[in-house]
Amino acid sequence: MKSYLSYTEEVRHALENNLPIVALETTIISHGMPYPQNIEMAKDVERIIRDNGAVPATIGLLDGKIKIGLTEAELERFATDKTVEKASRRDFPYLLASGRIGATTVAATMIAAQLAGVKVFATGGIGGVHREGEITWDVSADLTELAQTDVAVVCSGAKSILDIGRTLEYLETQGVPVVGYQCSEFPSFYSRESGFGVDFRLDTPEEVATLMDTKWKLGLRGGLVIANPVPEADALDHREIEGVIETALREAKEQGITGKQVTPFLLDRVKQLTAGKSLATNIALVKNNARVAAQIAVAYQQKQ
Ligand code: PSU
Ligand code: MN
């Protein structure tokens, strides 16, 4: 298994010396934002993690290797190459075996992080149960990954392109703790509200680290969702975004979009319909998640 992994010098050094590491996904770079904002975001997020005392490990599939940490040239490639494919758990072995370039989703990034021994991962939002999922059976593999892979995912909740209530029900069934980081309401990505509560509220990186440590020491496998709301100043109005999302959902239905195309289609339409306003919010929340994730990684490492 280890023969599939390939580390940058910085990440290898961190692993050998038990330094705190934060994993980052590449789908957000390749399919989540336009160029050049995506590459700027990717570099900024890595810098924020270093500034907060941890080592960033951006993860992607390239040349038959699971890359744990990317060079600047590789980051640039994930940001610009139009042939980059979306890699979730299902796609992971095919993309690796065929040597193609694959941008890892939350699920695939968790798989790679676990293989490398990285426990904390920062991103924007997780996938979930789609609206009308009871008819389409469209449930993101991110949720089943959270059920079985030992990584804490620091995110700003889930976008309301999803059925947030059913997403939380599914996570409960699968035994995934949903933690509100300094908040009591589950955030809905662009805004700090969703109308749903979190399971547990924790207010410091140390408390989160203790929860992770306790869960895994008990042998309770699986991840945790650490929901960190978008900073107040960058949040969008909940009702405004709801209208946009409904338009995007209607278009997806009309155009018969299915499978792995659903999420990228919806994200792209929301971006276009909000005329880029959502992009600034997206970037702000990812940076904030990187900062908190680094602090949690530092606190967790101190306990080991
Ligand atoms: N939600 C977002 N932004 C994203 C994604 C989801 O707000 O970039 C991406 C993540 O990589 C996530 C993936 O893991 O989409 C989920 O895709 P799917 O629903 O096909 O599992
Ligand atoms: Mn899906």
Domain boundaries, the chain: 2-303
The pLDDT, as a whole number, for residue 277 is 86
Q: How many angstroms does the Cα of residue 31 sit away from the middle of ligand 1? A: 9
pLDDT at position 61 over 80: yes
The pLDDT, as a whole number, for residue 238 is 86
Whose CA is closest to atom 11 on ligand 1?
105
Q: For ligand 1, is residue 125 a contact (CB within 6 Å)?
A: yes
What average pLDDT does the segment 159-170 reach?
A: 96
The pLDDT, as a whole number, for residue 276 is 80
pLDDT at position 239 over 90: no
The residue to mutate among 25, 105, 145, having the most atoms of ligand 1 within 8 angstroms of its beta carbon, is 105
Global pTM reads 0.98
Q: For ligand 1, is residue 278 a contact (CB within 6 Å)?
A: no
Distances (CA, A) of 1 to 18, 60, 94, 222: 21, 16, 15, 20
- Residue range 70-118, pLDDT digits in tens: 999 999 999 999 999 999 999 999 999 999 999 999 999 999 999 999 9
Mean pLDDT of the chain: 97
What average pLDDT does the segment 125-133 reach?
A: 97
CA 19 – CA 11 distance, rounded (Å): 9
The pLDDT, as a whole number, for residue 62 is 98
CA 20 – CA 41 distance, rounded (Å): 21
Q: Provide the 8-state DSSP code for 261.
A: G
pLDDT at position 32 over 90: yes
Q: How many angstroms does the Cα of residue 17 sit away from the middle of ligand 1? A: 32
Active-site entry in 119, 159, 271, 287: 159
Query: What are phi and psi for residue 251, nearest 5 degrees?
Result: -65, -40
pLDDT at position 164 over 90: yes
SS3 category, 3: helix
Distances (CA, A) of 50 to 2, 56, 110, 152, 242: 26, 7, 20, 19, 36
Residue type at 212 in one-letter notation = M
pLDDT at position 1 over 90: no
Angle between helices 277-303 and 205-217 (to 10 degrees): 60
Q: Is 159 a catalytic residue?
A: yes
The pLDDT, as a whole number, for residue 2 is 79
Residue type at 33 in one-letter notation = M
Whose CA is closest to atom 21 on ligand 1?
140
Residue 119: both structure tokens together: 């426990």
- Four-way CATH pick for 2-303: 1.10.1200.10, 1.20.910.10, 3.40.50.2020, 3.40.1790.10: 3.40.1790.10
Q: How many angstroms does the Cα of residue 105 sit away from the middle of ligand 1? A: 6
pLDDT at position 9 over 90: yes
Q: How many angstroms does the Cα of residue 127 sit away from the middle of ligand 1? A: 5
pLDDT at position 240 over 90: no
What average pLDDT does the segment 188-215 reach?
A: 98
pLDDT at position 287 over 80: yes
Indicate the Cα dihedral angle 76, 79, 81, 82, nearest 10°: -170
The pLDDT, as a whole number, for residue 244 is 94
Active-site entry in 25, 74, 76, 185: 25
Residues within 5 Å of ion ligand 2, judged at the Cβ atom: 138
